[in-house]
């Protein structure tokens, strides 16, 4: 293999696809500093902002998914797909990648399809315990499919599956010694108990409603909360509560330094996205998971149950969150022994080094 292999990483849409992609890129750069990486995403989606912020170049395809409730918008879809495949072919002709990686999301489809037409080897990284139609179809010609769950041979050819776990950005899970700096950056008191609420990369309506309703209970116990609302909900919440609602309450749209929030927290309330769970296993804090009921095949419940059956997290249903979530978090803050058990058990479920294992698999495709 030469010292400057060229690799395209494609996909995005939500943080759940983007951040594993960045983690793989970072690992590739650590292993082969001279490698050239180009990201390909979808115009208008989160990756077009987050990937350059992580220090990588990205090109956008004009592609979207099926839009519910708008026949007119969907009429353009076949043309967008064709146009995107054409642009993907052009990108491959120009960049001349040695290998391609697909992490899921709209841009992955056209890019991997173009790679297959051009005979360029590609690897799929599937974060969840189920695979959508596009990934299943692309999996037929993939050289390797790196997965995080068992029984994925129901979706992909068994001989090419490798269970690696989900890749996470190292800097996000490196929280040792950051408790004080985390609290300071978030303008919180490092000596007070703190709950972190994260609704995944987009935020979660149910978590927001549950927190907003019970803020007085949190304040009454002099507990602090780092509350990540998500972009869609932030404005409404700030309009209702104001930015400086109470010194114990820090409201943020998105946490750019997730490590500092993880470090500052004593208990974490979270949706059960696969990437967040992989991080939670590595940071080893007591966690309450509220799986989103609005995702394909109810996969967040499956993600959460994998932990709950090992007594590694508390599960609260979306339906009952508004009534019970905050009370449970406040209870968990006080129950030191239970918190320690949860922390110990979640740590046992970590699959570290997924980023480097996957990066090495990508490099093997080039040598092969
Ligand atoms: C509603 C939806 O479709 N959710 C899916 C999406 O979740 P979502 O996009 O929320 O992704 P994950 O929960 O997997 O990961 C979230 C990522 O965003 C980061 N982060 C989050 C909040 C923040 O303020 N700052 C920040 O950096 C986290 O550290 C993590 O790296 O992709 C996941 C992986 O395919 C799926 O399992 C989820 O079901």
Over residues 301-344, the pLDDT tens digits come to 999 999 999 999 999 999 999 999 999 999 999 999 999 999 99
Closest Cα to atom 20 of ligand 1: 201
So what's the pLDDT on residue 77? 80
CA of 322 relative to ligand 1 center, distance in Å: 21
Judge contact between 249 and 224, C-beta under 8 A: yes
Residue 75 pLDDT: 78
Nearest CA to ligand 1 atom 36: 273
291 lines ligand 1 (CB under 6 A): no
| Paired strand residues for 39 | 9, 58
Contact 100, 8 (CB under 8 A): yes
Ligand 1 atom at minimal distance to the Cα of residue 172: 29
Is the CB of residue 99 less than 8 Å from the CB of residue 365? yes
The confidence score (pLDDT) of residue 76 equals: 78
How far is the CA of 291 from the CAs of 15, 129, 207, 276, in angstroms? 16, 14, 10, 12
Is any atom of ligand 1 closer than 6 Å to the C-beta of 128? yes
pLDDT digits 0-9 by tens, 123-140? 999 999 888 888 999 999
Whole-angstrom distance, CA of residue 99 vs CA of residue 97: 5
| C-alpha 115 – ligand 1 centre gap (Å) | 27
Q: pLDDT at residue 1 above 70?
A: no
Q: At what angle do helices 274-283 and 336-348 cross, to 10 degrees?
A: 110
Q: Compute the average pLDDT of residues 170-179.
A: 97
Residue 275 tokens read as 């990437």
What pLDDT, in 10s, does the model give residues 217-236? 999 999 999 999 999 999 99
Rounded Cα distance between 191 and 45, Å, is: 39
Show the domains of the chain with their CATH numbers: 6-166+352-367 (3.40.50.2000), 171-348 (3.40.50.2000)
DSSP 352: T
């Amino acid at each position: 293999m030469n010292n400057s292999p060229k690799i395209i990483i494609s996909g995005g849409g939500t943080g759940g696809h983007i951040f594993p992609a960045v983690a793989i890129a970072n690992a590739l750069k650590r292993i082969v500093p001279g490698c050239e990486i180009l990201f390909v995403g979808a115009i208008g989606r989160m990756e077009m902002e987050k990937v350059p912020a992580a220090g990588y170049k990205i090109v956008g395809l004009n592609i979207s998914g099926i839009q519910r409730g708008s026949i007119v918008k969907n009429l353009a879809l076949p043309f967008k797909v064709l146009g995107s495949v054409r642009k993907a072919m052009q990108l491959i002709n120009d960049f001349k990648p040695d290998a391609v990686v697909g992490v899921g999301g709209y841009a992955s489809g056209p890019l991997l399809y173009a790679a297959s037409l051009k005979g360029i080897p590609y690897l799929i990284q599937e974060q969840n315990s189920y695979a959508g139609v596009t990934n299943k179809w692309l999996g037929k010609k993939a050289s390797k499919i790196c997965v995080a769950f068992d029984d994925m041979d129901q979706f992909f050819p068994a001989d090419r599956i490798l269970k690696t776990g989900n890749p996470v950005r190292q800097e996000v899970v490196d929280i040792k010694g950051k408790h004080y700096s985390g609290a300071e950056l978030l303008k919180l008191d490092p000596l007070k108990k703190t709950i972190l609420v994260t609704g995944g990369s987009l935020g979660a309506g149910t978590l927001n409603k549950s927190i907003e309703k019970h803020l007085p209970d949190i304040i009454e116990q002099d507990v602090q909360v780092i509350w990540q609302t998500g972009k869609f909900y932030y404005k409404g919440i700030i309009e209702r509560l104001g930015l400086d609602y109470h010194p114990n309450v820090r409201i943020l749209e998105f946490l750019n330094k997730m490590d500092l929030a993880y470090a500052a927290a004593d208990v974490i309330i979270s949706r059960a996205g696969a990437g967040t769970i992989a991080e939670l296993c590595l940071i080893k804090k007591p966690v309450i998971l509220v799986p989103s009921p609005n995702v394909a095949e109810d996969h967040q419940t499956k993600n959460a149950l994998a932990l709950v059956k090992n007594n590694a997290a508390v599960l609260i249903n979306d339906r009952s969150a508004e009534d019970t979530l905050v009370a449970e978090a406040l209870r968990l803050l006080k129950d030191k022994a239970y918190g320690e058990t949860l922390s110990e058990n979640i740590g046992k479920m970590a699959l570290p080094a997924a980023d480097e294992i996957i990066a090495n698999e990508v490099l093997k495709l080039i040598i092969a």
